[in-house]
Amino acid sequence: MNKITESLLRVVSDFGGTFKGAYNVREDGGCAGRQSSEHIKLESKKDGPGLIIRVAPGTKGETVYIPACVTHGGIDDLVYNDFYIGEGADVVVVAGCGVHNEDDSEARHNGIHRFFLEKGARVVYREKHVGTGKGRGARRIDPVTDIQMAEDSYMEMDTVQISGVDSTMRRTNALLKDRARLVVRERLLTNGTEWARSDFDVTLEGEDSSADIVSRSVARGKSRQEFNSCLRGKNRCNGHSECDAILAESGSVVASPSLEAANLDAALIHEAAIGKIAGEQILKLRTLGLTQEEAEERIIQGFLK
C-alpha cells in the first residue's frame, strides 16, 4: 500500500502497522492486502468487484477489517461486499473509508455492504469516514448498508463522518425477524459547502423485534444535512429514531421522520431537536479561560462523542 493509504488507515481503522486476524485493504479500486483467519474466510466475488466474507457459526471475539481508501482524483470506486454471519457468532467488523484528493477531478468511493445474520448472531459494525487533501476535485463517499436479521440476532452500527467529505449519501435498510435488535449511533460533522444525507428504512417484521436509531450531527459553515427515517412496525415491536443536530454559522439541517404501524402492538416513536449551541454553555466555559472559538469547539467535540 502507498503512504497515503497508510495514513488514512490510521484514521479510519486504527491501523498500527498491521492488522490481526482477517482483513482486506482496498486501495484505489484494487486489493492492497488480504488475509483470512481460521473462522473468517474472505474471497473475491466472481460476478463483480467485492468480497464474500463468511463467519463460521459460533465464532467469538474476532475482528475482520475491510477498510477502503481512494488516494487521488479520477477514481470512482464501486464495491459490493456480502457478509454471512453464522449462527451464534459474535464478531466486530471495521469498515472505514478515507478519500484523499489533491486533483481537480472527483474522487469517490461507493461501498455496498449486505449483512445476513443467522439465528442468535451478533455484530458490532464500525464505520468511520474522512476526506483529506487540498485539491479542487470533490471527495465523495456514498455507503449503502442492507441488513437481514434472523431471530434473536443483534447488530450495532457505530458510524462516524469526521470531516472533509464534500458530499455523502448514506443509506441503511434493515429487515428484522423475531426478537432481532438493531442499534444505530450515527455522528456527522460537515463544514464549508459540504452536503450529507442519511436515509434509514427499517422494517420490524418479527414479533418483539426492536430498533433504536440515534443521529447526532453538527452543520458548520454553509453546509447542509438531511436526515430521513422510516420505521415500519408490522408486528408487536418497539422502534425509536432520533435526530439531534447543532447549527453553527450558516449551516442547515432538515429532519424528516416517518412512522408506519400495521399492528396494534407496534410502539414507534421519533424525536428531533435542531438548534444552536446554548449561550450559557459558552459563557460557563469562557469563565474558565477559554475563548469563544475554543468554547464552541469543546462543546461540539463533547456532543459528537
Q: What is the pLDDT of residues 167-186, one digit of tens each?
A: 999 999 999 999 999 999 99
82 pLDDT band (50/70/90 cuts)? Answer: very high
The Cα 87–Cα 245 span in angstroms is: 37
299 pLDDT band (50/70/90 cuts)? Answer: confident
The Cα 255–Cα 10 span in angstroms is: 33
Give a yes or no: residue 158 inside a domain. yes
Model confidence at 286: pLDDT above 80: no
293 pLDDT band (50/70/90 cuts)? Answer: confident
* Residues 183-211, mean pLDDT to the nearest whole number: 97
pLDDT score of 114: 98
pLDDT score of 305: 79
| Least confident segment among 12-16, 120-124, 126-130 | 12-16
Q: Identify the CA nearest to 26 among candidates 63, 62, 71, 82.
A: 71
The Cα 270–Cα 246 span in angstroms is: 18
pLDDT score of 302: 83
* Residues 26-37, mean pLDDT to the nearest whole number: 95
198 pLDDT band (50/70/90 cuts)? Answer: very high
* Residues 219-248, mean pLDDT to the nearest whole number: 96
Give a yes or no: residue 90 inside a domain. yes
Give a yes or no: residue 178 inside a domain. no
Extract the C-alpha cell encoding 297: 469547539
Give a yes or no: residue 15 inside a domain. yes
Extract the C-alpha cell encoding 272: 428531533
Give a yes or no: residue 153 inside a domain. yes
pLDDT score of 209: 98
Q: What is the mean pLDDT of the chain?
A: 94
130 pLDDT band (50/70/90 cuts)? Answer: very high
Model confidence at 279: pLDDT above 80: no
More confident residue, 144 or 249: 144
Model confidence at 287: pLDDT above 90: no
* Residues 253-260, mean pLDDT to the nearest whole number: 94
Give a yes or no: residue 137 inside a domain. yes
Number of domains in the chain: 1
Model confidence at 289: pLDDT above 90: no
pLDDT score of 280: 76
Q: Identify the CA nearest to 189 among candidates 89, 290, 299, 265.
A: 299
* Residues 39-46, mean pLDDT to the nearest whole number: 96
pLDDT score of 69: 96
What residues make up the domain containing 40? 1-165
300 pLDDT band (50/70/90 cuts)? Answer: confident
- DSSP class of residue 121? -
Q: What pTM value is reported for the model?
A: 0.93
65 pLDDT band (50/70/90 cuts)? Answer: very high
Model confidence at 237: pLDDT above 80: yes
Give a yes or no: residue 233 inside a domain. no
Residues 6+ apart with CB under 8 A from 23: 33, 34, 35, 42, 64, 65, 66
* Residues 59-68, mean pLDDT to the nearest whole number: 97
Give a yes or no: residue 57 inside a domain. yes
Distance spanning both ends of the chain, measured CA to CA: 31
